[in-house]
Each structure stands twice: as structure tokens, then as C-alpha cells.
Amino acid sequence: MTGGIALIAAGSAIAGSIVTGWYARGPGIRQAAAARHAGDRPADALLESVRMTLRAESDHRGFALRRQTYGEFLGAAEARILAERNGRRQGDDDVLLQRTLGGVLLEGPPDAADAAQHLVDCLRRHERPEELKRAKPAFVSVAQERCRAGDLP
């Protein structure tokens, strides 16, 4: 008879554990989901920080490339202007000017490309010095505008 009582007590304990576990299951699942989502917030913040850093680095590289391209073009145009003034043009001047113009045309934007093309056209047509004095500063002005940090399209 003590064996029967022990069996009933053990069965009651098991049944009680099952019922208690069943009712504790729902809050436990919700708590686990909340903990999982709480871990998502720092991870999302970290990913956004990495994205912002990569975007800033990309913008900086674009800025540096644009500045270099404009500088090379301006140097080639200045060499050609000096050669025109001195009457000592060389074939290399035209090649360098055309190559650097191609860089500006590719790098853009359109207003910088147009200003560079206008300066080259003035040089090719052997325009008067007054026209060159207007065309060169016009390009420089557009280039300075486009080289300001944060002004990349």
C-alpha cells in the first residue's frame, strides 16, 4: 500500500510539473524573443555605423579623385596657355591637354566638363588672351565649387 501511495505522489508531482511547465512556457518564449531582439538593437546600430563609415570613405575617395583630375587638367591647360604666349608649342602639349580633358569629361559633372571643354576650344581656336582670361577662371570657379567637401553628387 505504501507503494501505491508513492506511485500516486510521483504521478501527482509529474502532472504538477507538466502543468507548471506548460503555463511557464508562454512567458519563457516571450522573454527569449525579447532578449533576442534586445541583442538585435546593438547589432543594427553597429551595422549602421559601419555603413556610414564606408559611405564617408567612398565620398572622400571621390572627392580626392575629382580634385586630382581637375588639378591635372588645369596644369595641362596652363602649360598650353604659356606655350601659346611664348610661341613654343609642342605636340606633347596637345596630347596632355586632350588626355586631361578626357578625365574631366569622365569625372564630371556636366558644368565642370562644359567649362573645361570651353577652355580647350578657346586654346584650339587660338582665342585672344582676354577670352582665355575669362575661360580659365570660369573653369577654376566651377572646379572649386565641385571640390568642396560634401558637394559630390
Tens of pLDDT, residue by residue over 76-131, are: 999 888 887 887 767 777 889 999 999 999 988 999 999 999 999 998 888 888 88
Per the domain annotation, does 32 fall within a domain? yes
In this prediction, what percent of the chain has a pLDDT beyond 70? 69
Per the domain annotation, does 152 fall within a domain? no
Q: Return the biggest CA–CA distance within the chain.
A: 126
pLDDT in tens, 44-56: 666 677 677 777 7
Q: How crowded is the C-beta side of 109, counted as CA atoms within 13 Å? A: 10
Angle at 58 between CA 54 and CA 63, to 5 degrees: 150
Q: Could you tell me the pTM of the whole model?
A: 0.62
Quick one: cell of 51? 555603413
- Looking at the structure of the chain, the number of domains it has is 1
Per the domain annotation, does 138 fall within a domain? yes
Per the domain annotation, does 135 fall within a domain? yes
Per the domain annotation, does 153 fall within a domain? no
Which amino acid, residue 23? Y
For residue 107, give its domain range.
Answer: 2-146
Per the domain annotation, does 28 fall within a domain? yes
Per the domain annotation, does 54 fall within a domain? yes
Alpha helices in 87-128 (DSSP H): 91-107, 110-124
Per the domain annotation, does 151 fall within a domain? no
Share of the chain residues as helix, strand and coil, in percent rounded to the nearest 5: 90, 0, 10
